[in-house]
C-alpha cells in the first residue's frame, strides 16, 4: 500500500484564496473531540477497572487517601475533556451544517437531540460528583484519625454514591459514542 504524499500535501495546503480549507478545520476539531472523549471515558474506565480494585488490598487509610487523590486527578481531566467536547462539538456542528445541509435532515436532528441529552446527563452526574459528594469526601478524608482499621460509615456512604454516578457515566459514555457515530454517518 503506497501513500500519495503529493495528493495528501495538496489537500492540506492553502486554497487559491490563501485560506486553509474548512475540511481541515473540521477534521482537526473532530480529532480534538475524539481525544477529549477518550480522555474523559478513559479516565472513568481507569478509575473503575484499575484504581478502584487495586486499592482494595491496602489499609483503609491508604485506600481512602489514594482514592481521594485519584478522584482529584479524574475531576481535573474530566473538566478539561468536558470543555473540549463542548467547544469542538459546537465548532464541528457549525462547520458541518452549511457544508452538507445535514441539519435540515430530521433524523440528524433527532440523533443530535438524544446525544445532547445523554451528554447533558453525564455532565449533571459529574457535577453531582464534584459539587455534592467530593466536598464531603474531602472533608471526611481530612478528618481521618491516624490509626484506623475500618472505613468510617459516612465516608463509605459518600464514596458509594460517587462511584454509582461514575458507573452511570461509564454506561452512558458508549451510548454517546454510538450516537456520535450515527451523526457522522447520517
**Cell representation of residue 176:** 454517546
* pLDDT tens readout for residues 135-171: 999 999 999 888 888 899 999 999 999 999 999 999 9
C-alpha triplet 51, 62, 135: angle, nearest 5°: 80
pLDDT at 156: 95
Query: How deeply is 60 buried, as exposed, middle or buried, from its count of CB atoms within 10 A (0-12, 13-18, 19+)?
Result: middle
Please give the average per-residue pLDDT across 60-64, as a whole number: 92
pLDDT over 50 (residue 7) = no
Q: Which of 25-29, 66-70, 162-166 has the lowest mean pLDDT?
A: 25-29
CA atoms within 13 A on the CB side of 179: 20
pTM of the model: 0.83
More confident residue, 21 or 8: 21
Amino acid at each position: 500500500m503506497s501513500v500519495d504524499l503529493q495528493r495528501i500535501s495538496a489537500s492540506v495546503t492553502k486554497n487559491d484564496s490563501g485560506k486553509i480549507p474548512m475540511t481541515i478545520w473540521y477534521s482537526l476539531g473532530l480529532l480534538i473531540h475524539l481525544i477529549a472523549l477518550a480522555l474523559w471515558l478513559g479516565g472513568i474506565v481507569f478509575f473503575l477497572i484499575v484504581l478502584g480494585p487495586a486499592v482494595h488490598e491496602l489499609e483503609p487509610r491508604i485506600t481512602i487517601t489514594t482514592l481521594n487523590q485519584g478522584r482529584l486527578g479524574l475531576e481535573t481531566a474530566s473538566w478539561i475533556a468536558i470543555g473540549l467536547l463542548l467547544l469542538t462539538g459546537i465548532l464541528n456542528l457549525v462547520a458541518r451544517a452549511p457544508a452538507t445541509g445535514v441539519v435540515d435532515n430530521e433524523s440528524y436532528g433527532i440523533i443530535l437531540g438524544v446525544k445532547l441529552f445523554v451528554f447533558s446527563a453525564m455532565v449533571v452526574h459529574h457535577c453531582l460528583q464534584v459539587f455534592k459528594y467530593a466536598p464531603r469526601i474531602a472533608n471526611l478524608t481530612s478528618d481521618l484519625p491516624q490509626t484506623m482499621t475500618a472505613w468510617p460509615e459516612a465516608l463509605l456512604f459518600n464514596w458509594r454514591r460517587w462511584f454509582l454516578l461514575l458507573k452511570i457515566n461509564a454506561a452512558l459514555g458508549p451510548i454517546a459514542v454510538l450516537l456520535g457515530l450515527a451523526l457522522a454517518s447520517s
